[in-house]
Amino acid sequence: MKENLSVAFLLISLLAGTAAGSTVESFELSPEPAGNEIGDIIFDGEGVWVTSDNGISYSLELGASWENFLPGISSSGLSGYRGFVVFAASHEELYEEELYPAGDGFFITT
């Protein structure tokens, strides 16, 4: 577990450092991912996908700029399979004064 956290922290640090000095030239790109709570990170052979508490983000420039998808939807998982990226979406629901995770379905890249 500590190894996974260390690798995730290192990758996030590298991405954040690259993004800090970038200039956004397109209204479709953002200098940072959709949220500040990163859940999963995968590399699809061309770019980096990250999940957050506010959607999913993709960077072809190792974090210099981001394209954000599914704003407002949290992640419960991210995986790559045969050239596709699968995003499992979730949210929390209040039941008897306790928050419980609830599924919002799967999203698959085309």
Question: pLDDT, tens digit, for every residue of 37-69?
Answer: 788 889 888 899 988 878 888 999 888 888 988
Distance CA 86, CA 83 (A): 10
Question: pLDDT, tens digit, for every residue of 79-95?
Answer: 888 888 888 888 788 99
Domain extent, residue 56, equals 2-108
Total domain count, the chain:
1
pLDDT at residue 6, as a whole number? 44
0.75 cut: is pTM over it?
no
Q: How confident is the model at residue 18 (pLDDT cuts 50, 70, 90)?
A: very low
Distance CA 91, CA 20 (A): 30
**Angular region, 3: left φ>0, alpha ψ -120 to 50, beta rest:** alpha
Distance CA 55, CA 89 (A): 8
pLDDT at residue 31, as a whole number? 64
